[in-house]
């Protein structure tokens, strides 16, 4: 195949894959709810018995039920029950408001109690954003109502143009003519003889811990009545337990989003650049490469300081990066040897629109559209 006249562009880096976030915040909120709920119930019982009377006993019983309900909602929140989020959030806000109003009405100091009840609200209410993934490849196929793939009205899309560009580049690589490829203009520094091929947005993820397992153990000194002191000590113990749990979780490796940036793909390396990172991954230094899907490529290598790095890059150019990495350093990779990175029926799709048909797969290897 000949080199296309221009480099296909368009689209943006796909949204990062979803990850579980905020587990420590939810666990801490649940712990506060359990502790304050049980303390509320425990403090209300002797107070109601001391006052005596049916009204005081009924009021005390109601407060006990509210406290136990708050503790139950906190436990369910830790266990990730769906209903517990809004229940715990609503009860926490209601208790804080009722305590504040009662304190203002009676003139008693209720600021500490209000702050304690408001802790789960502060932990659970936080802004979130979601980005929709851009799926430029396989655009000539649509999904039917029952989820099965059905052919749609054929059309040639930007995703097809990018795949055609990748197939032409792969042909040059197979025929050992990649040196004939016209480099794209770039402001990033390249080595002598290096050919820049694509410059585009990137979403990198690394598999690593976000902490070393340590945390700060806090102690508290409280002066006042028995209920206040018990509350302060219980909250301190809960805070330390939550901090210890969070530190333990942070010491476990996980996929961590490293932030939006730019990537330069050349015939020798992948160069990642943003305000937070600036480094290159050379194809010859890779231990593993895999095309996870049409928008994600997985790389594994040893860094300069000896760390075992697991890197996943997210973007529409993932097949291009896989072709260059596997074709240059992994000639026996099944995805490269059988050209499984090409979509089903892509050769027929090219012929339908009068495009040059990639000759990478033999007719017997081609999967029908």
Arithmetic mean of pLDDT over the chain = 76
* pLDDT at residue 116, rounded to an integer: 66
pLDDT for 77 beyond 70: no
State the virtual CA torsion across 305, 306, 307, 312 in degrees, nearest 10: 90
Percent helix, percent strand, percent coil in the chain, to nearest 5: 45, 15, 40
For the purposes of burial, counting CB atoms within 10 Å of the CB of 108, is it exposed (0-12), middle (13-18) or buried (19 or more)?
A: exposed
pLDDT given at position 65: 74
Summarize the confidence of residues 197-215 as an average pLDDT.
89
What's the average model confidence in pLDDT over 79-101? 70
114-146 tens-digit pLDDT: 666 666 666 666 543 333 333 333 333 334 444
Mode of pairing for the β-strands spanning 254-257 and 261-266: unpaired
Q: What is the CA radius of gyration of the chain?
A: 30
- Which pLDDT score is estimated for 146? 47
Q: Please give the domain boundaries of the chain with CATH numbers for all domains.
A: 23-126+217-250 (no CATH), 156-209+255-352 (2.30.29.30)
Name the band, by pLDDT with cuts 50, 70 and 90, for residue 368: low
Beta 141-143 vs 308-314: how paired, if at all?
unpaired
Helix axes 54-78, 82-106, angle to 10 degrees: 140
Cα–Cα distances (Å) from 64 to 36, 71, 158, 357, in that order, read: 11, 11, 64, 76
| pLDDT in the model for residue 122 | 65
Pick 308 or 217 by higher pLDDT. Answer: 308
């Amino acid at each position: 195949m000949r080199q296309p006249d221009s480099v296909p562009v368009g689209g943006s880096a796909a949204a990062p894959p979803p990850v579980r976030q905020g587990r420590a915040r939810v666990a801490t909120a649940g712990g506060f709810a359990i502790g304050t709920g049980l303390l509320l119930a425990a403090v209300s019982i002797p107070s109601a018995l001391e006052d005596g009377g049916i009204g005081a006993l009924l009021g005390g019983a109601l407060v006990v039920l509210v406290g136990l309900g708050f503790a139950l909602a906190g436990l369910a929140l830790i266990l990730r029950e769906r209903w517990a989020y809004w229940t715990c959030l609503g009860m926490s806000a209601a208790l804080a408001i009722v305590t504040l109003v009662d304190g203002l009405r009676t003139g008693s100091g209720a600021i500490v109690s209000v702050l304690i009840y408001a802790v789960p609200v502060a932990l659970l209410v936080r802004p979130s954003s979601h980005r929709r993934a851009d799926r430029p490849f396989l655009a000539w196929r649509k999904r039917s109502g029952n989820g099965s793939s059905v052919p749609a009205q054929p059309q040639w899309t930007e995703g097809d143009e990018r795949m055609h560009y990748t197939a032409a580049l792969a042909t040059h690589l197979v025929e050992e003519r990649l040196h004939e490829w016209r480099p794209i203009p770039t402001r990033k520094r390249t080595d002598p003889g290096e050919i820049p091929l694509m410059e585009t947005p990137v979403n990198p993820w690394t598999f690593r811990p976000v902490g070393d397992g340590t945390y700060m153990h806090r102690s508290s000194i409280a002066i006042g009545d028995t209920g206040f002191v018990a509350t302060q000590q219980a909250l301190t113990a809960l805070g330390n337990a939550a901090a210890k749990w969070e530190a333990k979780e942070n010491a476990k490796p996980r996929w961590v989003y490293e932030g939006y940036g730019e990537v330069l793909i050349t015939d020798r390396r992948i160069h990642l650049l943003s305000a937070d990172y600036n480094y290159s991954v050379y194809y010859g230094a890779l231990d593993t490469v895999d095309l996870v899907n049409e928008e994600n490529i997985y790389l594994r290598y040893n860094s300069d300081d000896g760390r075992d790095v697991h890197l996943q890059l997210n973007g529409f150019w993932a097949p291009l990066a896989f072709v260059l990495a596997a074709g240059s350093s992994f000639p026996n990779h099944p995805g490269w040897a059988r050209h499984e990175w090409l979509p089903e029926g892509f050769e027929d799709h090219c012929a339908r629109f009068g495009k040059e048909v990639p000759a990478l797969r033999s007719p017997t290897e081609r999967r029908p559209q």
